[in-house]
Amino acid sequence: MTHQKLDAEITSRIIEMAWEDRTPFEAIYDEYGLTESQTIKLMRKELKQKTFKNWRARVSGRKTKHLHLRSKDVSRGYCATQYKHKSK
């Protein structure tokens, strides 16, 4: 799937996954078919320049963003405290 064919909801979800520290690029590929380089291109296109630079600095070399670099102790795609349950 190329990023030209993505609708706004899918694009938003990919951006969210790319920002998540524990979601590897392989998970984005498995779910949406975008390679790491395609995800980077999408982020460059969709984010403001400064925001993109901040994101690239954040994910560059981050072991949890690549399955082959991450510790075997990291078995989930997100931190247990990442998603807060909303009270009604």
Q: At what angle do helices 25-32 and 8-19 cross, to 10 degrees?
A: 160
Cα–Cα distance for residue pair 77/23, rounded to 1 Å = 5
Pick from 21, 36, 33, 16: which is nearest to 76 by CA?
A: 21
- What does the pLDDT read at residue 3? 46
Give, for all 88 residues of the chain, the pLDDT tens digit: 544 567 899 999 999 999 988 888 888 999 999 999 999 999 999 999 999 999 999 888 776 666 655 555 555 555 555 555 555 4
Res 23: pLDDT: 87
Please give the pLDDT value at position 6: 75
DSSP assignments along 16-54, one per residue: HHHH-TT--HHHHHHHH---HHHHHHHHHHHS-HHHHHH
Q: Would you say the pTM of this structure is higher than 0.85?
A: no
